[in-house]
Chain A
Amino acid sequence: MTTVSASHDQTPLERELAAHLTEAVQLDMDPLDIDPEMPLFGEGLGLDSIDVLEIALMVNTQYGIKLESHDDDNRKIFHSLRSLAHHISTHRPG
């Protein structure tokens, strides 16, 4: 498992986020196997907008960041594990 995941090069925050994410949407895969650049929605990980809502609520609980407004940004923020992690790291309170 770890040999595969090493190629994906997740940062520590991405690794943590991937674990929360797979749990939130009950994704049947090893969080370390998520390619940080892969689109979350549709073709990539195959998530739908209900999953995106689950992730937004998870991010709110885990990181204290509200993600329901700013409609135009959401598609960029939720594009991939990496873009979401980037958003969290720059918007984390404290």
Chain B
Amino acid sequence: MQRNTWLRPEKGNSLTIRLLIWVALNLGYRVTALLRWPATLYYAAVYSSVRRASWQYLSHLHRAGALRRPHWGMVLRHIHAYSTNTLDRIYLLSGRFPRENLHITGQDILHEALHQNRGCIIMGAHIGSFDALRQCGLNASVPFRMLMYRRFIGATSRFIEALAPGFNADIIELGQPDSMLATLKALRNGEFIGILADRAHDGGRSIPIRFLGEEAPIPAGPFHLARLTGAPVVLVSAIRQKNGTYHIACTGLADTLLPETEPAPAREALLSPMQAYVRWMEELCQRHPYAWFNFFDFWEKGL
């Protein structure tokens, strides 16, 4: 078993992704959308780890009572949902995704959070599309910056992100000595900080929490950050609907929206918000089984 299996370059090579981007930007959505099934079959055939990770996740969902018994057709549907997500990223990041196709609910909680003048941590997961959310963030009056781990970025993300002007300028890179100091500064300036909090990159800071019936290592770092800075946390998901639009939903993470002067002391204080976060992920997975985009051994129990 290998730990942190997502910490490797993403799948996909630069030639196919550049071709895909060219087709998407020149031949339009409908034509490009036709490429999703060949791409899905290719990925499913070539990458056994992706197949197995999907199967493992679908089985967990089944045992949790949220899905019927998995079969290989569901694995293909899962990978197909991911190729749709990748396709949409091209349009979202190049600014060609129609704004009216992004619907946001619960945004009052964001205004409420900002009123506390401690900035706001927008916490998401690799469920649905964070780029759809980012698109909304860019239109807000407050700067929106993403905390990201960049060292192992693959060709797919590199070429797609190059479509968005200023994408890198809006990133605070994780894994640097001063990553959190830069984050603190941004929060004190009243900015939004986006984090996808479901992937651990430092085993030392993850805490095992029951997710879909079995303990998985969940990173504690984002919750430490919230505790130390006193910044309110808003959970945000952006889920693709059947008609191709995105529904962006904001909800406050319990306990973090109350103004507190004294940060709670230790690890125990992190458990309750972390469990609330994991419950939120579970509900999303149960309602949108194919929007889960962690194609690696999430539970670290072996694929």
Residues on A facing B (Cβ under 8 Å): 26, 40-42, 48-50, 52-54, 56-57, 67-69, 71, 74-75, 78
Q: 30 A-B contacts, Cβ less than 8 Å apart? A: A26-B266, A41-B177, A42-B177, A49-B175, A49-B176, A49-B178, A49-B180, A49-B181, A50-B224, A50-B228, A52-B177, A52-B178, A52-B181, A53-B181, A53-B225, A54-B228, A57-B228, A67-B181, A68-B184, A68-B185, A69-B185, A71-B178, A71-B181, A71-B182, A71-B185, A74-B178, A75-B176, A75-B177, A75-B178, A78-B177
Bound Cα distance from A53 to B221, whole angstroms: 11
Q: Say yes or no: A50 contacts B225, CB within 8 Å.
A: yes
B283 interface contact, C-beta 8 A: no
Residues from chain A with a CB closer than 8 A to the CB of B176 are 49, 75
B179 interface contact, C-beta 8 A: yes
Residues from chain B with a CB closer than 8 A to the CB of A69 are 185
B10 interface contact, C-beta 8 A: no
Residues from chain B with a CB closer than 8 A to the CB of A26 are 266
Q: Say yes or no: B188 contacts A68, CB within 8 Å.
A: yes
Least Cβ distance of A75 to chain B in Å? 5
Interface residues of B in 138-192 (CB under 8 A from A): 174-185, 188
Bound Cα distance from A71 to B181, whole angstroms: 8
Residue of A nearest to B201 (CB): A48
Residues from chain A with a CB closer than 8 A to the CB of B224 are 50
Q: Supply 19 further A-B pairs (C-beta < 8 A) apart from A50-B180, A69-B185.
A: A26-B266, A42-B177, A49-B174, A49-B177, A49-B178, A49-B179, A49-B180, A50-B225, A52-B180, A53-B184, A53-B228, A56-B181, A67-B181, A68-B181, A71-B178, A71-B181, A74-B177, A78-B177, A78-B178
- Chain B interface SS verdict (over half): helix
Least Cβ distance of B242 to chain A in Å? 40
Binary flags per residue of B179-220, CB closer than 8 Å to A gives 1, else 0: 111111100100000000000001011000000000000000
Residues on B facing A (Cβ under 8 Å): 174-185, 188, 202, 204-205, 221, 224-225, 228-229, 266
Bound Cα distance from A74 to B184, whole angstroms: 13
Bound Cα distance from A54 to B228, whole angstroms: 7
Residues from chain A with a CB closer than 8 A to the CB of B225 are 50, 53
Q: Say yes or no: A56 contacts B184, CB within 8 Å.
A: yes
Residues from chain A with a CB closer than 8 A to the CB of B188 are 68
Residues from chain A with a CB closer than 8 A to the CB of B266 are 26
Least Cβ distance of B205 to chain A in Å? 7
Residue of B nearest to A79 (CB): B177
Bound Cα distance from A49 to B258, whole angstroms: 25
Residues from chain B with a CB closer than 8 A to the CB of A42 are 177
Q: Say yes or no: B221 contacts A74, CB within 8 Å.
A: no
